Amino acid sequence: MVVTSGHTVAGDDMDDANPVGPPPKRKPITARELARLMGVSQSAVSRAFTPGTSISPQLRQRILRAAAELDYHPNAIASMLSTRRSNIAGIVVSEMQNPFYPTLIEKLSRELQRVGLQSLMFNITRGSNIEEQLVALRKYNVDAVVVVSATVLSGASLRWATEGRAAVLVNRTIPDQTLTSVSCDNVEGARAIADHFHAIGRRQVAYVGGLPHTSTNLERQNAFITRVAELGMTLTHTLSGGEYSYEAGYRAALEIGQAKRTDAVFFANDILAIGGFDAFKDGLGLLVPEDIAVAGFDDVDMTRWPRYSLTTFRQPVDAIIERTVSLIIEQLSNEDFSPSQNPLSGELLIRHSTVGGRGLEKIGLPLPPQEQR
Amino acid sequence: MVVTSGHTVAGDDMDDANPVGPPPKRKPITARELARLMGVSQSAVSRAFTPGTSISPQLRQRILRAAAELDYHPNAIASMLSTRRSNIAGIVVSEMQNPFYPTLIEKLSRELQRVGLQSLMFNITRGSNIEEQLVALRKYNVDAVVVVSATVLSGASLRWATEGRAAVLVNRTIPDQTLTSVSCDNVEGARAIADHFHAIGRRQVAYVGGLPHTSTNLERQNAFITRVAELGMTLTHTLSGGEYSYEAGYRAALEIGQAKRTDAVFFANDILAIGGFDAFKDGLGLLVPEDIAVAGFDDVDMTRWPRYSLTTFRQPVDAIIERTVSLIIEQLSNEDFSPSQNPLSGELLIRHSTVGGRGLEKIGLPLPPQEQR
DNA sequence: TTGAAAGCGGTACCAG
DNA sequence: CTGGTACCGCTTTCAA
d(C-alpha A23, C-alpha A20), whole Å? 9
Phi, psi of B33 (to 5 degrees): -65, -45
What residue spans in chain B does CATH classification 3.40.50.2300 cover?
A: 86-184+317-347, 186-314+348-371
- Taking a C-beta distance cutoff of 8 angstroms, is the pair A302, A309 a contact? no
Residues B139, A11: C-beta atoms closer than 8 Å? no
Q: Does B56 touch chain A (CB under 8 A)?
A: no
In chain B, which residues have pLDDT < 50?
A: 1-25, 362-373
pLDDT tens, residue by residue, A259-301: 999 999 999 999 999 999 999 998 999 999 999 999 999 999 9
What crossing angle do the helices spanning A215-230 and A186-199 adopt, rounded to 10°? 40
Q: How far is the C-alpha of A286 from the C-alpha of A283, rounded, in Å?
A: 8
The answer to whether A115 contacts B5, with C-beta atoms less than 8 Å apart, is yes
DSSP 8-state symbol, B314? E
| Cross-chain CB nearest to B120 (options A106, A120, A307) | A120
Statement: the CB of A31 is under 7 Å from strand D: yes
Structure confidence at residue A370 (pLDDT): 40
Question: For residues B173 and B51, what is the distance between their CA atoms, to the nearest angstrom?
Answer: 38
Note the pLDDT of residue A7.
Answer: 31
User: Is the domain defined by B2-82 classed in CATH 1.10.260.40?
Assistant: yes
Task: List, as ranges, residues 297-326 from B with C-beta within 8 Å of A.
Answer: 301-302, 305-307, 325-326
Is residue B50 classed exposed, middle or buried when 0-12, 13-18 and 19+ CB atoms within 10 A define those classes? middle
How many angstroms away from the CA of A347 is the closest CA of chain B? 22
Beta bridge partners of A182: A170, A342
- Residue A254 φ then ψ, to 5°: -60, -45
Residues of chain A neighbouring B67 (CB-CB closer than 8 A): 12
CATH 1.10.260.40 residue spans of chain A:
2-82
Q: Does A125 touch chain B (CB under 8 A)?
A: yes
Mutate to test the interface with B, among A121, A129, A146 (most CBs of B within 10 A): A121
Tell me which residues of chain B, numbers 156 to 185, contact chain A at a CB-CB cutoff of 8 Å: 164-165
Nearest to A140 by CA among A152, A126, A127, A122: A122
Size of interface A-B (CB pairs under 8 A): 278
Q: How far is A199 from chain B (nearest CA, A)?
A: 28
Which residues are CB-neighbours of A7 under 8 A, at least 6 positions away?
A: A14, B51
* pLDDT, position A12: 33
- Nearest nucleotide to the CA of A55, by C1', is C1
Asked if B313 contacts B343 with a C-beta cutoff of 8 angstroms, the reply is: no
Q: What is the pLDDT of residue B152?
A: 65
**CB-based contact, B362 to chain A, within 8 Å:** no
pLDDT band at residue A128 under the 50/70/90 scheme:
low
User: Among A86-90, A97-101, B3-7, B155-159, whose mean pLDDT is lowest?
Assistant: B3-7
Looking at the C1' of nucleotide D7, which residue has the nearest alpha carbon?
Answer: B82
Contact B13 A102 (CB under 8 A): no
Amino acid symbol at A41? S
- On the question of pLDDT at A164 being above 50, the answer is yes
pLDDT value for A124: 78
**CB A14 to CB B49 under 8 A?**
yes
B250 touches chain A (CB under 8 A): yes
Q: What are phi and psi of A275, to 5 degrees?
A: -60, -45
- CB A68 to CB B12 under 8 A? yes
Homologous superfamily assigned to B186-314+348-371: Response regulator (3.40.50.2300)
B53 touches chain A (CB under 8 A): no
- Give me the residues paired with residue B206 across strands: B237, B265
Write out which nucleotides of chain D lie closer than 7 A to a protein Cβ.
1-5, 7-13
List, in order, residues 6 or more apart from A163 with CB less than 8 Å away.
none
Strand D within 7 A of B284 CB: no
The answer to whether B291 touches B263, Cβ cutoff 8 Å, is yes
Is the distance between the Cβ of A190 and the closest atom of strand D smaller than 7 Å?
Answer: no
pLDDT at A134: 77
The answer to pTM > 0.85 is no
Return the HEC string of A109-137.
Answer: HHHHHHCCCEEEEEECCCCCCHHHHHHHH
Homologous superfamily of the A86-184+317-347 domain (CATH): Response regulator (3.40.50.2300)
- In three state form, how does the secondary structure of B111-159 look? HHHHCCCEEEEEECCCCCCHHHHHHHHHHCCCCEEEEECCCCCCHHHHH
